[in-house]
Amino acid sequence: MKTKNVARVAIAGFGGVGRATANLLLSRRQRYREVYGAEVRLVAVCGSRSGLADVGGLEPESLDAFEPGLSGPAFIEASGADIVIEAGPSDFRTGGPGLAYLRSTLSAGRDAIVISKGALVHSGPELRAMARSTGATLKLSGAAAAALPTIDLLENSLKGCEVLEILGIFNATTNYLLDAMMNQNLGFEEALARAQAGGFAEADSRNDIEGWDTASKLVLISNFGLDADLTMDNLSVEGIQSVAAHDIEAWRKRGLVPKLVGSLVRAEGATRAAVGVRTYPLSDPLAHVSGKNKAIRITTDAMGETIAIGSGTEPLATAAAALKDLEHILTARAARATGCSGGLE
């Protein structure tokens, strides 16, 4: 009788996205069995101060029974998880709290799926080198614009081409605000208040509004998709906080649509990257990326321009992006198992 290929998953960070990821993973267990021959068990989840673990696998009804003190990298390591999904708060200035979880995970050769951007922006080269040295897989679809395919396009669809330019509308909050200011005649403060009341913007939206979230995603897409070595210090970053009513009126009169854009240009061996407001005529597809949608335009030497536009209901869309990474890991494991006689539990 063939033994099962068991994949033990832990989730570090259990806010809205972490919980959505757990619920979606548990709902897809039958798919994982049928498609990959894998028994996927959620063996641990934790927040900043409490958590829950079960080596046999947690069930949806048990996810509210957290126990104080069950948290931190040592707790995740003790759970026996071989795949860790990092979904905690994001702080690109310190890397925490995700950095400690990722160092623990990757140094031990366990695979990591990253949703929060902070640790990868702060210590990306270190974590990439750690993954290479131990043979661990490091995936980050949830961090690099989530439901919008970004690194996927660079690694797969445009493979072999030289990327000349990337332009991206990577932040849903700022896109919603600019859209509301242009089309609903709202001032910046009123648009922000409505977005916060509707759950489209965080109570503290400075990282979004000042361009730092867009900059973080641009750094990740560049470094992990193009093997670049960008840091936040390499970017010129401007947000939308200074957009005024007279700017909006001037753009309307000229038939232009403003977007907060992350841009990267590669030429003559040099890379230039920036975040700031750009305007587009209605003839440009980026002008029609409305509301909470995101978009990326990639220009290559051989395939010309490729544009992707996407959105999804949060936090489900980000959870689905993370579990797309899980399926890539399961695919690789199934391929290794097929290619050799051992390796399965």
- Could you report the per-residue pLDDT of 238-289, keeping only the tens digit for each? 999 999 999 999 999 999 999 999 999 998 888 899 999 999 999 999 999 9
Task: State residue 342's pLDDT score.
Answer: 41
For residue 121, give both structure tokens: 């922006």
Q: What is the pTM of this model?
A: 0.93
Distance from C-alpha of 310 to C-alpha of 329, rounded to nearest angstrom:
24
CATH class for the region spanning 151-310: alpha beta
The domain limits of the chain are 5-147+316-339, 151-310
Task: State residue 113's pLDDT score.
Answer: 98
- Could you report the per-residue pLDDT of 205-243, keeping only the tens digit for each? 999 999 999 999 999 999 999 999 999 999 999 999 999
Q: Is the domain defined by 5-147+316-339 classed in CATH 3.30.420.40?
A: no
Residues 6+ apart with CB under 8 A from 109: 134, 135, 136
Q: Is the peptide bond before 97 cis (omega within 30 degrees of 0)?
A: yes
